[in-house]
Structure 1
Amino acid sequence: MTTIRKVRYYIYLKDVLILSLTAFGGPQVFLAMVIDIMVKKRRYITEKDLLELNALCLVLPGPTSTQTVSAIGFRVGGPNLAYLSLLVWILPGTLLMISTAFLIEYLQSHTKGELSFAKFIQPMAIGYIIYASQITIKKMIHSVEAAILMMISAFIAFFYNSPFIFPIMLVIGGLITTHNYNKQPVIEEKSEIKISWDNFIVWATVLIVAAVLGHYTRILPIRLFENFYRNGSLIFGGGQVLVPYLYTEFVEFKNYLSSEEFLTGYAISQSIPGPTFSISSYIGALSMREWGAAGMITGGLVAAAGIFLPGTFLIFFVIRFWDGLKKYRPVRAALEGINAVSCGMLIAAAYLLFEPMENNFINIIIIIGTYILLRYSKIPSPLIIVLGVGIGLIYQWILNSI
């Protein structure tokens, strides 16, 4: 039995690695691939159970795809396999984005601090944000009240872009829509909710200890871990919603990156497989560039650990009693407000990322063109970014030749 189980573990980890290297195109493509590999081919889980599990991950803070992979691993082989699958899933994307940070830093140091090669992919990143906003809003906004909440949160995020305002807005949004619980369908069969607090205690302990150590030691890697861990604990709505949080904290608030560097990294992160939260590794690496190569690697790995761990702890905590909790109407009603605020963040992100860019006709055409390609063409998303990078490199070569 033990040998059979170990073989099954090995096969599961191999499947996760294949996903991490081939899952281009965002959460929709990821879910289709999971159904094909883990449901139809391997039968680790039924399709109904998978969709319910994915829905649970969507309403929890943290990276949805990562939580889904970890949760399936948890059901197949318990906590040990779950954490191994987490590592296998995030490692390729993390290493690719750390390498991207090294490339950006090298090119800047050899081109007088400029990123001319990224001239075109920066406005392309705005096109990606607008496209992501449309898809997310279509899925999450289903009432006038939610639309108003979305616009109010976007307005607040425009003018009060402190990272500390975001979690407050999420809580308020959830509380506002709880009064609509009577519109939710009644589920008569309610079972007693039995809660095991172990994983919640681990999540909260790490958060508190990291915050205290970061505050009193002022050691940059510890502070980075706390920053990303806090963001990973508060992000509802997936990787696209993460963007305004990270931009506000690390560009506007702490000035660890320039707007140009952030946009370039975000655009490149859209062209690689695996979790979209891997952009955090890029940000962490550039935040520690003054520490040299070892510092950049440390920053990238610390950021990855910080952003991915809280969602894993929380899914392990909630999965045990979610089936009972979701039957209560106020819980489901609160999710509408949380999702509406998250959509407002996306709208704000498009504006905040465009504001520091040069306001010219070419940038606007590139933004609109990128959106049209994503919305109406069948060109793979990574190929669009590769095309932009290629044109940018040619543009920089011409500039250097003049």
Structure 2
Amino acid sequence: MKKEKNMDIHKPVKWGTFLKDVFICSLGAFGGPEAHYGVFTEHLVIKKKYLNEEELVELIALCSILPGPTSTQTIVAVGYKMGGPMLAFLTMLVWALPVLTVMTILSFLYQFLDSMNISQDGLRYIGPMAVGFIVVAAYQIGRKVVTDRLTIILLLLGGITTYFIRKPWIFPMVLVLGGAASILSSREQKLWNRVKVSPPWGYLAAFGIFALGSIVLTLTWDNRIVHLFESFYRYGYLVFGGGQVVIPVMHSELVQANQYMTNQEFLTGYGLVQGLPGPMFSFSAYAGGMAARGNGALFQVLGAMAGGIGIFLPGVLLIFFIFPVWEDLKKIRGIKVSLKGINAVAGGLICVSAIILMQRSGFAFDNILVTLATIALLFTRKIPAPLIVVLVLAAGFMVL
């Protein structure tokens, strides 16, 4: 890469040692990007000293500007910093592959319960619990992104618009409009200051080829796996803010529009991923597998692979393209300014997804009780998320 000279020089690291440390991070990374950053700081910065806190914060800022799985892009960028593109790719595999494999297996959960004659009613409280997780995420993200009158308006407009218009195209549109509103309202000068860069265009070309190629294939070939890959790839390059933000987009298209799975099945997967370490985007393997049911186990595994690869690929290609020229790109103020409006709209999407999923879960007394208990436990922070999932599963099978 031509721009490697701009990056900080670090002592060479043993790839095996570094990847082992990435795997340790993946085992302890519960709770979404904010919690993941704490794990990165503790293990990669303080304990192993691969980089300093300032460098990590800078990488987090870079990845926050990009669409896709923020914490995954951050740790991939650390791998790039330590050893270039190949180590970054291996970092991605070590970080995400374990939980993607587990979520692929969990996509067979309903078939397994049927084959064992076990009642699916035991999973009924996972949905209400998942609503509790989304309510807490909406509160936490809303509190962070609402900083002034403009962000309040954008949050409300984003939420109201997507509540009444549940079409896949509405989500990227309101996010783009939020970013544009933030730029137009900014009083800063020279937002689009010119910088000289020499980016690795091959990665951007690959990004575009996958995006356009998958769209063309869906228009010319009626194949479920191809359609799933295009959908999840699109989620990966149109969604900012991590796993919580992509959930309402997935729900609208996979459950409401295409009816690939029921609301309960969708919420079960989302609830189960809360109890697993690693990136929340791994939910895509479960959703892809569920959407490909009915044509054999191999076809279902291919659907899970289409979901997992599709949703992570654009974000990884973008970080491979942008990281080598970050020192120059971060001087463009317009990129950072637009993120304020994008995040505000994303907060509105999450708030509305909590409302819609709560409506679809039903307002039975026990469902409401599970949702409220989940919210209370999450706010106390005394019981970790995996234990909450185990407790709710136990309650579901005990109270049949």
| Superposed pair shares fold, TM > 0.5 | yes
Match of 2:221 in 1: 217
Amino acid at match of 1:279: F
Partners of 2:39 and 2:338 lie apart in 1 by 31
Match of 1:90 in 2: 96
Tell me how far 1:213 sits from its aligned partner.
Answer: 1.5
Amino acid at match of 1:345: L
Q: Does 1:62 align with 2:88?
A: no
Specify which of 175, 178, 181 is matched with residue 186 of structure 2: 181
Match of 1:399 in 2: none
Specify which of 29, 38, 48 is matched with residue 32 of structure 1: 38
Q: Does 1:76 align with 2:79?
A: no
Match of 1:162 in 2: 167
Give the structure-2-normalised TM-score: 0.92
Amino acid at match of 1:210: S
- 4+ runs of 1 displaced by more than 4 Å? 108-112
SS in structure 1 of the partner of residue 240 of structure 2: coil
Amino acid at match of 1:68: T
Tell me how far 1:326 sits from its aligned partner.
Answer: 3.2
Partners of 1:316 and 1:139 lie apart in 2 by 28
Partners of 2:180 and 2:136 lie apart in 1 by 29
Partners of 2:115 and 2:347 lie apart in 1 by 37
Where do 5+ consecutive residues of structure 2 fail to align?
Answer: 1-10
Match of 2:296 in 1: 292
Superposition map of 1:2-401 within 5 A = 8-108=14-114, 115-182=120-187, 192-396=196-400
Amino acid at match of 1:360: A
CA shift digits 1:152-172 (9 cap, x unpaired): 111111111111111111111
The answer to whether the 8 A contact 1:182-1:329 is kept is no
Identity of aligned residues (%): 38
Partners of 2:46 and 2:360 lie apart in 1 by 47
Amino acid at match of 1:86: M
Tell me how far 1:109 sits from its aligned partner.
Answer: 5.3
Tell me how far 1:147 sits from its aligned partner.
Answer: 0.9
Tell me how far 1:318 sits from its aligned partner.
Answer: 2.0
SS in structure 1 of the partner of residue 295 of structure 2: helix
Partners of 1:224 and 1:66 lie apart in 2 by 21
Q: How many residues align?
A: 390
SS in structure 2 of the partner of residue 319 of structure 1: helix
Partners of 2:185 and 2:332 lie apart in 1 by 12
The answer to whether the 8 A contact 2:32-2:243 is kept is no
The 1:126/1:17 distance shift into structure 2, 3 A limit, reads same
Tell me how far 1:313 sits from its aligned partner.
Answer: 0.7
Amino acid at match of 1:37: H
Give the structure-1-normalised TM-score: 0.92
Q: Over the residues paired in the alignment, what is the CA RMSD in angstroms?
A: 2.1
